[in-house]
Structure 1
Amino acid sequence: MVPITSVLERKLSDLQIPLAVEFPSGQRVGAADARVTLKLRDLSSLARIAAGQVGRVAEDHVEGRLDVDGTMRDVMLIAAQMIGADPVQAHSGAAPLRWWRDMIRMSRSKVRHRLHMDAEQIAFHYDVSDDFYALWLDPRRVYSCAYFADPAMTLAQAQEAKLDHVCRKLMLRPGERFLDIGAGWGALLLWAAEHYGVKAHGITLSKNQFNHVNRLIEERGLQGRVRMELRDYRELEEDEPYDKIASIGMFEHVGRAQLRPYFDKIWRLLRPGGLLMNHGITAGGTDNTQLGAGMGDFIERYIFPGGELLHVSHVLKVMSEAQLEPLDVENLRPHYARTLWAWSDSLEGQLDRAREITSDRVVRAYRLYLAGSAMSFERGWISLNQMLASRPSGDLAAGTMHGAQSDYPFNRRYIYESPR
């Protein structure tokens, strides 16, 4: 039997970025000029490092079983090499057992996405600490993919560009009723009201976000024009339809089992001819709900419990089955990689303050989550899609051309021409 230290030494010698492992005794293996050093507090992590189970190694770091000395960018370059196999394909499973796996997956999704469960899962992530998120987000606290319309943009500029990009795609007009499902810290809600004159309604399951946005509404004198509620989308009244609806970075929490009811609900909330922007993270592979090599399990345990990845093709299929017509799909995957690296770099520059606000355990988890997500978007393991859709009105004479049946002009020119 080959000693595990020999297996580890061979694996370390194959890496392009020099890595060393330091044992509790002080003994080291690996590169003398290591750019990253894994300092073990006990030996239980050795087998996981040798096997390339980066998700389990990340768990060991969060739980304090090993420390990481090196930049997050170097750590992720090493992690990508240690994984070896494609983590998208590696988690898809064998075709003959697919029906059984899909049944188990659907059953688990139904259990995980009941009303009270979703509320608990959202609180686990979003109510960590407003001050913690404020450390590394932009001033508007936009916690979703930015849009670098100009490569020279700062993160703050790119987030404003994203807010405007969404508003333009939705063709927001003064006086329209606009719903933001999962409104976060209110950036899109307030931008739409202040720049496009809509009557905006936002909902969230995070108490911290609910309180923050209502303070902003009062400070900016937007009472009567903007409303923020602590409410699940399934509980929204359907008596007066909305002209436009946005769901930004929210449907990842909906779950496979609830995706059709989610789009059915949006169809009922949207007026005939109205537009929907469904923006969110999608799977890089057509058949995986999370990443392999233990990365998906790490995210489930420490960051987003209940989160499920779905391929854009599956989302569009279910959207269409709910009688919402897909109009335009834009892939912003590399934009999210750049966004996440900006968040990661910002957090890295304020680690001591972050630990004071939360805890060392939370900071360890988020350092790996932000940098690991950036790596995953760069490599196409996960993606980000904006899906614009409408509820066709059935009126062939409505719209800019015969048969349009919606506000959409069936060309993209309007998206890139500023309405202001």
Structure 2
Amino acid sequence: MSTSTADATRRIEQRWGLFHRWGPYALLGFGVVMSLCTSGVVGMTRGDWYTAGALVGAGLALQLGWGALAAARPGPSPAGIGYYALRWAIAFVLTWINPFFAFYAVVAYFDSERLLPARLVKPGLFLTAVTMSGSQSGGLPPDGELGWGVFGGLLAVNVALLAVFAHFATQEDQRARDAAATIDELEHTNNALQQAMDENAALHAQLLVQAREAGVADERRRLAAEIHDTIAQGLTGIIAQLQVVATASDEALAREHLDRAAQLARHSLGEARRSVHNLSPTALEHDVLPEALKKTVVEWSERTGVRAELTVTGTAEPLHEEIEATLLRIVQEALSNASRHAAATRLGVTLSYMDDEVALDVRDDGRGFDPLALVQRTGSGGFGLDGMRVRAERVAGSFTVESEPGHGTALSARVPLVRHG
């Protein structure tokens, strides 16, 4: 059963507990008041009052005694049967004396299932219906054939009403059980769905790590192949030309081979520069830094479902390729950290162009963390923070982290404004 359903059930049970505890006192007291007001009409004698007083006292003593035992016997028990029978007998005799004492008898309708075993519930309700019918017909015993006829008719009506109400109560109880079962099933389904989502998130994170590792491996293989096919081949050719020069006796021939060696060296230098150039982020091949950052933030937001925005302040201008690559890599790492660790609902990236530096700030409203505690636990900044710091410091910049558990995280990088060219 869900927490909210259990709380609602507990509150209802507490209210019924108050009624079962104090209801008999209140109804008995109301019956006494009504009997006092109607004693002249009913024709109560002094002896009737003595008897009624003794029975009221017995009813109070019975209720006090049962109040001490009820907590130890919450369900049907022999003590509950005895309490129910004695209370019915007292109410029956009081109603015989004055019909208005039936207010005390009506409490049996509400606690028969609580006090009696299932086989005695219907007999107990029938006895209460007898008392109530006697009160409704003008008092016990009925007077003459007409009085007995009215009493019988009222008894039949009361029994029929009990059957109808019992049927409705059974249906309502079944609906409540069905609703509770449905809620439990939905809660189980939600838990299973959440577990599946967590597993998918873990699998997604694992795939990202594998994709990154595969990308690194592919890049290494590409570089190795390029070095072997271009730079290494060029160096081999240069060595071969120089070896010819070393053994050549003809100056013109030596000059020719030296020219070939220089040509191969220039070609190899060009290939080396091209390989280094290919290491720059592909997002910067066709876009300037603000556009590349915007695309990166938008794609990350669509992939994670987290609201993310890019804000650019100052006058944007082309920066040195290394500066732009550094800032883009820091943003990519910060977004990766946020998706894996922050559990944020909003994230903001701010790129600020100033006179002599460029500032990059990434803020989220996620769970945050204690940077000092993270360093003490891991021995490093963790979460890729060291890598971002190294990137910023590599271009003579700085990197700071501000975070607090439950209050999000703010990353800030400051790098020199080195213009393109």
The TM-score range, normalised by the shorter chain, is under 0.3
Q: TM-score, normalised by structure 2?
A: 0.18
In the superposition, the TM-score normalised over structure 1's length comes to: 0.18
Pick the structure with more strand per residue: 1
Larger relative helix fraction: 2
Which structure is larger by alpha-carbon Rg, 1 or 2? 2
Query: Relative contact order: is structure 1 or structure 2 higher (C-alpha 8 Å, sep ≥ 6)?
Result: 1
